[in-house]
Structure 1
Amino acid sequence: MSFDHRTPMDQTRGTDRARDRRNRVVAIGLSAVVVAGLLGFGTYMLLEKSEAKENDGASRAQDGKQTEQTEQERKKLAAEPIADERTWDAKTLTRHHVGTDVKYPMKPPVGGNHNPAWLNCDGVVYEKAVPDVNAVHALEHGAVWVTHNGKASPDDIGRLASRVRSTPFSLMSPYEGQAGAIMLSAWGKQVTVDGADDPRVARFFARYVQGAQTPEPGAPCTGGIDG
């Protein structure tokens, strides 16, 4: 038979010390788990950021490549001839701001005196005829104006409208009295096309949307009037 010669107080102190040791061991173990978790999470986040950075860089490179290809295609189209295109000498197209109607020698007009307010032309398709004097001001800012006289097919009108809506510095409207079913105008330039799939449409847009013929490059196509 063995006897514990410690007093009750000594026994209590021993129990407390043992409990303290156990608590320290548990605390140390938990701390190790937390540290390991934090290290693992940190490593995961670093990998995620690295991968995201790589993906973002690849995306920018791809976007840059696509932009470069698109610009190359635009330049190629702009260099191709536009059959039956009409040209007016820019020196004969006056550019004064007037508050009255102007009698233009061509329909639709491709330049001349015009209203101080330009027609909004940031890819806008007008369902009704627009004032010549405001549309000419839009041409002065580098816009291409697509017009139709009611003889074009609904399919052609719909596809041309889609092109205009996706092209800043362009507008489209009906125009009674023009010679062709579909006509494209820029400042000093004009052509009649056979339909929306006529290759001259893409060439005209590529060459004259904010093209070299623009009298006021950098001028806006927003902030004007809506017909």
Structure 2
Amino acid sequence: MGPQSGTSKKQTKNAKMAAARQRVAEQREREAKAARRRSIIIGSTAALVAGGVIAGLAAVVLTEDDKGGSSGGSIVANVKPAGSNGGSPIQGVTAWVAEQGHEPNKSITYEQVPPVGGEHHPTWLNCGIYSKPVPQKNAVHSLEHGAVWITYSPTLPADQLEKLKAFAKQDYMLLSPHEGMSSPITLSSWALQLKVDNADDPRIKTYIDTYRNNKDTTPEYGASCSGGTGKPE
């Protein structure tokens, strides 16, 4: 039973990774199509400027982006406690089992604060440093792509924030304020999370080094953390 069970688990993991690679390939194709659409829109916009109707187009595009397709009801993200630390070598890490999936037309509630995974918006949040709270359902998609998301209490002292910004000046990093957390600082990656009390905690660097764009814990390893939505500093 032991060897067979181990083989079965390995096959299941391999199947999941193969499915993730397929999703990445499909995502890259969608990115390419989106880039082509943007080129068409830019060309159309130039023509509309000449015709004096750019204001109307801008209003349509802005309205669509702002609504975010939230008119299709609501769901609670399917994220359950793993009952362990996910095999993490870092003390204090909590693990979950998080469902993947895109929900463009629904409002999504996340029971974890901040979220660690679950269903999310099809468009990911561009990695970088944000001075205001960011859309959670876009940030979760970035976690799926391998980002580590550092969130901090809005009351965090300025010197502490500067230290976090230094950590966030890397690829596949998100930094933003977040209300309602149980600790001043939280580090999240897909289905994993670490809460710390201050920016001097050595586990911050260890967590980032361990989980940032980690091919073993990133569901869609190799997917981009740019070309999505959001304008970081």
For the superposition of Structure 1 and Structure 2, which TM-score range results when normalised by the shorter chain?
0.5 to 0.7
What residue in structure 2 maps to residue 201 of structure 1?
204
Secondary structure at 2:162 match in 1? helix
C-alpha offsets along residues 186-224 of structure 1, whole Å, 9 cap, x if unaligned? 001101112222111011001110112100000001100
C-alpha offsets along residues 157-207 of structure 1, whole Å, 9 cap, x if unaligned? 111112102x10001001001111110000011011122221110110011
Amino acid at match of 1:96: G
Counterparts of 1:13-162 in structure 2 under 5 Å? 81-89=89-97, 93-99=98-104, 100-121=106-127, 124-162=128-166
Whichever structure has more helix as a proportion of its residues is 1
Secondary structure at 2:166 match in 1? helix
What residue in structure 2 maps to residue 58 of structure 1?
none
What residue in structure 2 maps to residue 210 of structure 1?
213
Secondary structure at 2:208 match in 1? helix
What residue in structure 2 maps to residue 170 of structure 1?
173
Asked if the contact 1:82–1:203 (Cα under 8 Å) also holds between the matched residues in 2, the reply is yes
Asked if the contact 1:80–1:203 (Cα under 8 Å) also holds between the matched residues in 2, the reply is no
Amino acid at match of 2:111: P
Asked if the contact 2:167–2:205 (Cα under 8 Å) also holds between the matched residues in 1, the reply is no
Distance change in 2, residues 1:157/1:116 (3 Å): same
The root-mean-square deviation of aligned C-alpha atoms, in Å, is: 1.5
Secondary structure at 1:82 match in 2? coil
Tell me, which stretches of 5 or more residues in structure 1 are unaligned? 1-78
Amino acid at match of 2:156: A
Normalised TM-score (structure 2)? 0.59
Percent identical among aligned pairs is 42
Asked if the contact 1:148–1:183 (Cα under 8 Å) also holds between the matched residues in 2, the reply is yes
Secondary structure at 2:176 match in 1? strand
Among 179, 186, 191, the residue aligned to 2:189: 186
C-alpha offsets along residues 81-137 of structure 1, whole Å, 9 cap, x if unaligned? 322111112xxx11111122211120100000000000001xx11011001100000
Asked if the contact 1:164–1:172 (Cα under 8 Å) also holds between the matched residues in 2, the reply is yes
94-103 vs 202-211, greater mean Cα deviation: 94-103
For these two proteins, the number of residue pairs brought into alignment is: 143
Asked if the contact 1:160–1:196 (Cα under 8 Å) also holds between the matched residues in 2, the reply is yes
Among 190, 202, 220, the residue aligned to 2:224: 220
In the TM superposition, what is the alpha-carbon distance from 1:80 to its structure 2 partner?
8.4
Based on CA coordinates, which of the two structures has the bigger radius of gyration? 1
Asked if the contact 1:110–1:186 (Cα under 8 Å) also holds between the matched residues in 2, the reply is yes
Normalised TM-score (structure 1)? 0.60
Tell me the distance in 1 between the aligned counterparts of 2:184 and 2:197: 8
Amino acid at match of 2:180: G
Tell me the distance in 2 between the aligned counterparts of 1:159 and 1:199: 12
Tell me the distance in 2 between the aligned counterparts of 1:162 and 1:203: 14
Tell me the distance in 2 between the aligned counterparts of 1:96 and 1:80: 25
Tell me the distance in 2 between the aligned counterparts of 1:151 and 1:219: 33
Secondary structure at 1:204 match in 2? helix
